[in-house]
Amino acid sequence: MNQETLLMEVTQKAQNWLSGNYDEETKKEVEKMLDSEDKSKLIDAFYRELEFGTGGLRGIMGAGTNRINIYTIGSATQGLSNYLLKEFADLKQIKVVIGHDCRNNSRKFAEISADIFSANGIKVYLFEALRPTPEVSFAIRKLGCQSGIMITASHNPKEYNGYKAYWNDGAQVLAPHDKNIIVEVNRIKKVEDIKFEGNPDLINIIGKDMDNAFIEEVKKLSLSPDAIKRHHDLKIVYTPIHGAGITLVPAALKAVGFTNIINVPEQDVISGDFPTVVSPNPEEPAALELAVKKAIETDAEIVMATDPDADRIGTAIRNEDGEFVLVNGNQTMIIYLYYLITRWKELGKITGKEYAVKTIVTSELVSKIASKNGVELFDCYTGFKWIADIIRKNEDTKTYLGGGEESYGFLAGDFVRDKDAVSACMLFAEIAAWTKDNGKTIYQLLQDIYIEYGFSKEVGISLVRKGKEGADEIEAMMKNFRANPPIAIAGSNVKLLKDYASLEAVDFISKENITLSMPTTANVLQYFTEDGTKLSIRPSGTEPKIKFYIEVQSKVTSREELKEAETLAQNKIDIIQDELGI
213-453 has which fold?
A: Alpha-D-Glucose-1,6-Bisphosphate; Chain A, domain 3 (3.40.120)
Contact (CB, 8 A) for 426 and 382:
no
Residue 51 binned pLDDT confidence (cut-offs 50, 70, 90):
confident
Q: Fill in the amino acid letter for 535.
A: L
DSSP 399: E
- By CB atoms closer than 10 A (0-12, 13-18, 19+), residue 437 is middle
Residue 144: predicted pLDDT: 98
Residue 179: predicted pLDDT: 85
Residue 55: predicted pLDDT: 58
Alpha helices (H) along 376-532? 384-394, 421-437, 442-453, 467-483
Cis peptide upstream of residue 539 (ω within 30 degrees of 0): no
Could you give phi then psi for residue 347, rounded to 5 degrees? -90, 0
CA distances from 173 to 25, 55, 77, 268 (A): 32, 9, 14, 31
Residue 49: predicted pLDDT: 82
- 58 compared with 555, residue with greater pLDDT: 555
Contact (CB, 8 A) for 340 and 402:
yes
Residue 182 binned pLDDT confidence (cut-offs 50, 70, 90):
confident
Residue 555 reports pLDDT greater than 70:
yes
Residue 53 reports pLDDT greater than 70:
no
DSSP 320-383: TTS-EEEE-HHHHHHHHHHHHHHHHHHTT---S-EEEEEETTS-THHHHHHHHTT-EEEEE-SS
Mean pLDDT, residues 474-496 taken together: 96
Q: What is the pLDDT of residues 364-417, one digit of tens each?
A: 999 999 999 999 999 999 989 999 999 999 999 999 999 999 999 999 999 999
Q: What is the pLDDT of residues 404-422, one digit of tens each?
A: 999 999 999 999 999 999 9
CA distances from 258 to 28, 265, 412, 560 (A): 53, 19, 19, 33
CA distance 466 to 458: 26
Which residue in the list 75, 81, 154, 536 is annotated as catalytic?
154
Residue 441 reports pLDDT greater than 60:
yes
DSSP 553-582: EE--SSGGGHHHHHHHHHHHHHHHHHHHT-
Average pLDDT, the chain: 95
User: Residue 167: helix, strand or coil by DSSP?
Assistant: strand
Q: What is the pLDDT of residues 250-275, one digit of tens each?
A: 999 999 999 999 999 999 999 999 99
Domain 455-580 has CATH 3.30.310: yes
Alpha helices (H) along 438-559? 442-453, 467-483
Residue 56 reports pLDDT greater than 80:
no
CA distance 450 to 116: 52
Mean pLDDT, residues 547-557 taken together: 97
Residue 543 reports pLDDT greater than 70:
yes
Residue 365: predicted pLDDT: 97
Mean pLDDT, residues 103-118 taken together: 98
Residue 440 reports pLDDT greater than 60:
yes
CA distance 107 to 117: 15
Residue 1 reports pLDDT greater than 70:
no
Domain 70-206 has CATH 3.40.640.10: no
Residue 240 reports pLDDT greater than 70:
yes
Mean pLDDT, residues 356-368 taken together: 97
Residue intervals in the chain for CATH 3.30.310: 455-580
**Which residues, 6+ apart, have CB-to-CB distance to 449 below 8 Å?**
334, 335, 338, 365, 369
Q: What is the pLDDT of residues 79-109, one digit of tens each?
A: 999 999 999 999 999 999 999 999 999 999 9
Mean pLDDT, residues 216-241 taken together: 98
- By CB atoms closer than 10 A (0-12, 13-18, 19+), residue 366 is buried
User: Residue 409: helix, strand or coil by DSSP?
Assistant: strand
- By CB atoms closer than 10 A (0-12, 13-18, 19+), residue 517 is exposed
Q: Fill in the amino acid letter for 283.
A: E
Sheet holding 95-100, edge to edge: 57-60, 160-167, 147-151, 95-100, 123-127, 203-206
Q: What percent of the chain has pLDDT over 70?
A: 99
CA distance 519 to 500: 10
Residue intervals in the chain for CATH 3.40.120.10: 70-206, 213-453
Residue 57: predicted pLDDT: 86
DSSP 48-95: S----BTTBEEEEBSSSTTSBSHHHHHHHHHHHHHHHHHHTTT-S--E
Residue 54 reports pLDDT greater than 80:
no
| Residues in the chain, overall count | 582
Catalytic residue list contains 154 = yes
Q: What is the pLDDT of residues 186-202, one digit of tens each?
A: 899 889 999 999 999 99
Pairing, β 534-539 against β 95-100: unpaired
